[in-house]
Structure formats: C-alpha cells, structure tokens
Amino acid sequence: MNLMELRVLRYFLAVVDEKNISRAAQQLHVSQPTISRQIKDLEEELGIILFERGSRSIQLTNSGEYFAAQARQILSLTDKTLENIHENQDISGSVWIGSAEAKNFLTIAQAIRELQDTYPHIQINVTSTNADDVRARLKSGVFDFGVIMEPAEKSDFDFIHLPGESRWGLLVPNTSPLAQRDHLKLDDLLGEKLIISQQKGMTDVLNDWFGESNRDIHVVATFNLLYNASLMVSAGVGYALCIDGIINTNQSELTFIPLAPTLTTGSSIVWLKGHRLSTAAKTLLNQISAELN
C-alpha cells in the first residue's frame, strides 16, 4: 500500500468520524470536491457502497462499518511502524499492550515507571480488553504485548508469568443477603443470576469447577470490562463472577465475597513467537524481566 492509498483511508475515516464531507474537508484542510472524488473512487475500486448518503448526515453501510474497522487497524499499525523505524539513539517509539483487567498488571506498570527515567521518549499505550482480542491483535501486529489471565492457550506465543495470584469471588450489592457472608461455596452460585466474563471458555471453567456440565448455572449477562459489570450489579441485573483487586469496593455499595475452597488465577505477558520486536518493545521487555529478578 503506497502513501497515496493511506491518505485516502485517512480521508475516508475523517468522513466517518465527522459524518459530513464538509466538516471532514475543513479538518483535513482540503477541498470538499477532493474528498468526494476520493471516496467515490474508493467505492468503485472496492466494488461496494461505503455510505448511505442522507440529507443531514452520512451513515456507514454494513460493508462500510467493516471496512472502517479494518482501515483503523491498518492506519494504527502503519503509524506505529513509522514511529518505531524513526527511533533515535536515545531509543524512542511506541509500544502497544493489550491487557486483561488484572492486579498483576502492577508489575508492568512498575516497569513502565522505571523505563521513563532512562528512555523518556518511549511511549507506552495500554488498551484494556479480553484475551481473545489480545490474541487477534497480537497476530495482526497491532499489539506488541498482551497480558492474559491463566489458564490460557499460549502455543503461538512466548511468555513470562507475572507474580501474584488473584482470588475468584462474587461481586454483590451490599443489600444482598450474600453480602453478610465471609465466603461462598460453589453450590451457593446455583440458581443465582450470574454475570460472567465473555472470554471464550469461561463456561467450561465453571463446569470444571463444579466437576460436571449439567448444574443450574444461570448466566444473565456477560462482560469484557468489569467496571461495566459492576454497574449491572449495582442496577440489580445479577451478581458478577470475577477476580478480586479490580473494583475498589471500599466505601461503595458493592462487596466482593471470595469463593471457598479458594480458587485463584494468575496472568502472563505474552508476545508472538517469531515476531521481531521493535527496539522500544525489546527495551520494555528487558525492564519487565529486570523487575522480576
């Protein structure tokens, strides 16, 4: 893809964001006919209609929605690559990390803090997401590293296990009868309205805990970020099955109750096998290793 084609993608995404060709033209400091012509040429080249053109605003078609998501990934990867190939002797560039919500991320945060003193021109970008998205974006080259919860399939990745374990438990409103308990047994979850992680394999994990697959596990909602799940708990949707240390329940209307016997999980930082890391990414990895030694 040449620079002209990348420019067309930037024109296209500006129209997507502004939902108006005139405003997109003003933002990009080009003429409106130029953008209109480039978008028309792009549609003809792709053989699809990208926009449903209305009287007030421009909306994406289904094909346009898909193409916009791919265009954002292409430009993100391109911008990251250009930053990293223009590194100077002081080491600069961007490093992208996709991370599950885990208190074990503190090790990564401490490494980033140490890195700032020696290499202030390295920028670390963290995206909170789930393991499935981490794997996909590592393989597409968007992320340099991922932080995923264990147990996890890591055959395609190199990894370092991060120290510390997190307990599993239930996030409940303070008004719930369960809030008075100091622990919960697995059987206490049966028949309750549960909000669980939408990460692939979570239902299998539950079945493994119970030792069978036909227990009355009543899942009413799923989440990929626990903060949103905590709002559902507050609203009375159900109880969130989660790990501790993510939601601060001090002086809040929620309580975290651990499961007993204790069920814990760890996390690992992973990166794609055979993928050549940028100098900035290798420098961060070295700092993480130093934190663990």
With a CB cutoff of 8 Å and minimum separation 6, the contacts of 157 are 138, 146, 270, 271, 272, 273
CATH number of the structural domain spanning residue 176: 3.40.190.290
- As for how many domains the chain has, the answer is 3
CATH number of the structural domain spanning residue 74: 1.10.10.10
The pLDDT value recorded for residue 3 is 45
**153 and 276 both lie in a single domain:** yes
The pLDDT value recorded for residue 117 is 87
**55 and 16 both lie in a single domain:** yes
Look at residues 47, 55, 50, 53 and name the one whose alpha carbon lies nearest to residue 9. 50
Tokens 């590194």 -> residue: 87
CATH number of the structural domain spanning residue 100: 3.40.190.10
Query: Cα(36)–Cα(30) distance, rounded to whole angstroms?
Result: 11
Q: Cβ(93)–Cβ(278) under 8 Å?
A: yes
Query: Cα(64)–Cα(43) distance, rounded to whole angstroms?
Result: 10
**120 and 191 both lie in a single domain:** no
Per-position pLDDT tens, the chain of length 293: 544 578 889 899 988 888 888 888 888 888 888 888 888 888 888 899 998 876 567 889 999 899 999 898 888 888 877 776 655 457 889 999 999 888 889 999 999 999 998 899 999 999 998 888 899 999 999 999 999 988 788 889 999 999 999 999 999 999 999 999 999 999 999 989 999 998 877 888 888 888 877 677 899 999 988 999 999 999 999 999 999 989 989 889 999 999 999 999 999 999 999 888 999 999 999 999 988 87
**183 and 236 both lie in a single domain:** yes
Domain that holds residue 192: 165-264
Residue 91 per-residue DSSP state = -
The pLDDT value recorded for residue 146 is 97
